[in-house]
Structure 1
Amino acid sequence: MSSTSVNQHTTISHERRSTRSLTSKSSSESTRSTSSTRGRRRSASPRVSFSSSKLSPEPSGVQNITRKVIRKLEGLGHVDVIEVDENDNDSNEEKEREDSEMGEVAQSLLNGHGNGIASIKASEQSKAVQTKKNGEKKKIDWEIPRKLLHSSIGFFTIYLYLSQGSPRNVIIVLWSSLCIIVPADILRLRSPRFEKIYERALGFLMRESEKHTTNGVIWYILGVNFALTFYPLDVATVAILILSWADTAASTIGRAWGSLTPRLPSRILGLPLAPRKSLAGFLAASFTGAAIALGFWGWLAPIRQQASDVSWRWAEGVTLRGAQSGFGGWIGLGVIALVAGLVSGVAEALDLGSLDDNLTLPIISGGCLLGFFKLLTMVSSWLA
């Protein structure tokens, strides 16, 4: 064999050995890399735990809690992410568990659990709304045009009483006015076109609740006519004044200061009272009714020239049907004023269902006063 072929053979053998060595080395490195990769797993993510805590009412408490939450969330940014073999079942399970934990964290933050971020916001919003409610005053509808008309009737009544006006003529005028008002009111409720015209002219005198029911003026006239027809003139006059002034005082004072006093009970001595009415309105009606009785029988009634039809006189006391009860002077007048005040407050506060107080107030107040005068006459006759 020649030296050339021997050298070639030696070179080939040497190359094969080099190749095998490189292959073995590459395989060993690959194996080590794979083992190292499998051995290295995703580092455990920091677990963020949330616990409910009572919030401090001070702003600093809210700020401290917010800082703690931010620090914990910032810790999530330091998680080392390392590629893991997709075929490794353990790493897949761990990844799913971590994803589940992260989902729970996100859901907790969204729902406002944990440190109560949403609760803080809800609490702050609730406080803001409450502050706004307390700060703003409720707008009061004073019904000034209606109240002026209501009160003016009382002054007109006093004028008719002192000027020797005939009750019969007043009754005729009121019944005649009803012949116009009632058909107009029926047409208003049935014709939308006429309703617009009617409310444009007289709507400022109506309450919102009366725009779809019977006008309160009708009940007012019926109550006044009943008092003038069935009661003595002085009792009827006082009943109309109670309707005109005590009802107005109760409504005005009740709207202004009713929220500062308790509501009336639903019943007193079996009498149904309107729970929407306040103690302030009741007291206003009572004081006004007492003042009306005190001023009328103590001052106005003696001014009338024909004083023979007065039910109570300063010297004789109650003089119904010519009988004298003897309850005269300041004692008698004070007792009558006290009864008139109590009757005015209760009659104004009564809840009689759908009956309008413009109808019931003069009827009840006048009837109670007339009954009290009769009671004094009976007591006087027994004592005599």
Structure 2
Amino acid sequence: MQNKHGFNFLRKVWHVLGLIIPISLYLDLFSSFGGYQNGTRAFLVVYLGLFLFGLVFLESLRLSIPSFESFFFRYFGFLMKEEERNRFNGTVPYFLANFLVVLFFSAEIAVLSILFLVIGDPIAAYVGSKYGKNRFYNGKSREGVFGFVTGAFTVSVLVLLLLSFRDPNHIFSIYKADSIDWIPILATFLAVLVSCLTEFFSSTTAKGLIDDNLLIPLAGAITLAISMQALTGLGFEEFFFSPNKLFWKITI
């Protein structure tokens, strides 16, 4: 299911299934979890933390026990790249990125930065593999870069519109008092560009723990937070989340 330029359809579908994380955070699906003020975030952090721990454990077994590695690759190899036989597969940094942005950034920034990866990366891979003719030194194409920016930015603007309809006074609302607020749009575009550049220049290091799956959301989230703070003049607490608030109980 992978062509000569590295597009693996099933692998990308597996990653797109990660949309459940930003959708859950946006809709606040687990608001009553444990009676915490930040119930959805608390649920996602616990879920992602446990899943990540289990995933690292399985991957460690795979990398240290040849028979288990053969079994794993026989049945799940269609989700992996050949070069991942000797390092952690991309799902590990993917879930690590989700864990970090949910834990340390505002809900809106976490949602958008995850979308940069979940939407931008598969579109770039598909467009680049199918239509890429003008390629760079690393095999990536101008068409793929354009696909990343266009896809990620378009979906992000749609999310900003949804935020605007839900709460016109929200700092990420782009429609306020019958006028367009360009600040969230500009900040999001800058974050998409940085995420795209990160994808373009990123490489895999630390035995697979650091790759574009980790770096794209983190670069996007940091850029978006800094850009919004600089453009609005609001405090960083509006764009970053303090983990010590994670398990604050709801008080009546």
Scaled to the shorter chain, the TM-score interval is: 0.7 to 0.9
Residues 294-342 of structure 1, C-alpha deviation per residue, up to 9 Å, x if partnerless? 111112x2455xx59954123559xxxxxxxxxx715345424532432
Residue in structure 1 matched with residue 79 of structure 2 by the alignment: 205
Residue in structure 1 matched with residue 172 of structure 2 by the alignment: 312
How many pairs align?
A: 218
Query: Which SS does the other structure have where 1:312 is aligned?
Result: coil
Q: How many Å separate the matches in 1 of 2:193 and 2:199?
A: 10
Q: What amino acid does structure 1 have at the position aligned with 2:213?
A: N
Q: What amino acid does structure 2 have at the position aligned with 1:149?
A: W
Query: Which SS does the other structure have where 1:223 is aligned?
Result: helix
Q: Residues 314 and 308 from structure 1, CA distance in 2 versus in 1: closer, same or farther, beyond 3 angstroms?
A: closer
Which ranges in structure 2 are unaligned for 5 or more consecutive residues? 31-39, 235-252
Give the TM-score normalised by structure 2.
Answer: 0.77
Residue in structure 1 matched with residue 134 of structure 2 by the alignment: 261
Q: How many Å separate the matches in 1 of 2:53 and 2:169?
A: 31
C-alpha deviation, 1:141, in angstroms: 5.3
Residue in structure 2 matched with residue 357 of structure 1 by the alignment: 212
- On the 8 A contact 2:123/2:147 being kept in 1, the answer is yes
Q: How many Å separate the matches in 1 of 2:232 and 2:185?
A: 17
Percent sequence identity over aligned pairs: 25
Larger displacement relative to structure 2 (199-208 or 148-157):
148-157
Query: Which SS does the other structure have where 1:371 is aligned?
Result: helix
Find 1:376's aligned residue among 228, 231, 236. 231
Residues 124-148 of structure 1, C-alpha deviation per residue, up to 9 Å, x if partnerless? xxxxxxxxxxxxxx85653111111
Q: How many Å separate the matches in 2 of 1:140 and 1:247?
A: 14
1:142 corresponds to 2:20: no
C-alpha deviation, 1:159, in angstroms: 4.3
Q: How many Å separate the matches in 1 of 2:103 and 2:140?
A: 30
Aligned pairs for 1:156-195 (under 5 A) are 157-165=22-30, 166-195=40-69
Q: What amino acid does structure 2 have at the position aligned with 1:248?
A: P
Aligned pairs for 1:29-40 (under 5 A) are none
C-alpha deviation, 1:196, in angstroms: 1.6
Aligned pairs for 1:203-242 (under 5 A) are 203-242=77-116
Q: Residues 309 and 228 from structure 1, CA distance in 2 versus in 1: closer, same or farther, beyond 3 angstroms?
A: farther
1:276 corresponds to 2:139: yes
Residue in structure 2 matched with residue 297 of structure 1 by the alignment: 160
- On the 8 A contact 1:249/1:284 being kept in 2, the answer is yes
1:151 corresponds to 2:25: no
Q: How many Å separate the matches in 1 of 2:12 and 2:150?
A: 18
Q: What amino acid does structure 2 have at the position aligned with 1:261?
A: N
Residue in structure 2 matched with residue 321 of structure 1 by the alignment: none
Q: Residues 333 and 178 from structure 1, CA distance in 2 versus in 1: closer, same or farther, beyond 3 angstroms?
A: closer
Q: What amino acid does structure 1 have at the position aligned with 2:182?
A: I
Query: Which SS does the other structure have where 2:233 is aligned?
Result: helix
Q: Residues 187 and 308 from structure 1, CA distance in 2 versus in 1: closer, same or farther, beyond 3 angstroms?
A: farther
- On the 8 A contact 2:192/2:220 being kept in 1, the answer is no
- On the 8 A contact 1:293/1:336 being kept in 2, the answer is no
Q: How many Å separate the matches in 2 of 1:245 and 1:211?
A: 26
Q: How many Å separate the matches in 2 of 1:263 and 1:368?
A: 25
Q: Residues 308 and 224 from structure 1, CA distance in 2 versus in 1: closer, same or farther, beyond 3 angstroms?
A: farther
Q: What amino acid does structure 1 have at the position aligned with 2:156?
A: A
Q: Residues 262 and 200 from structure 1, CA distance in 2 versus in 1: closer, same or farther, beyond 3 angstroms?
A: closer
Which ranges in structure 1 are unaligned for 5 or more consecutive residues? 1-137, 265-274, 318-327, 380-384
Residues 246-293 of structure 1, C-alpha deviation per residue, up to 9 Å, x if partnerless? 0111111111122x11416xxxxxxxxxx3322111111111221122
Q: Considering only aligned residues, what root-mean-square deviation do their CA atoms show, in Å?
A: 2.6
C-alpha deviation, 1:239, in angstroms: 0.5
C-alpha deviation, 1:185, in angstroms: 0.7
Query: Which SS does the other structure have where 2:7 is aligned?
Result: coil
1:248 corresponds to 2:122: yes
Aligned pairs for 1:69-108 (under 5 A) are none
- On the 8 A contact 1:162/1:303 being kept in 2, the answer is no
Q: How many Å separate the matches in 2 of 1:378 and 1:140?
A: 44
Query: Which SS does the other structure have where 1:188 is aligned?
Result: helix
- On the 8 A contact 1:146/1:204 being kept in 2, the answer is yes
- On the 8 A contact 1:297/1:312 being kept in 2, the answer is yes
- On the 8 A contact 1:233/1:309 being kept in 2, the answer is no
Give the TM-score normalised by structure 1.
Answer: 0.52
1:344 corresponds to 2:195: yes
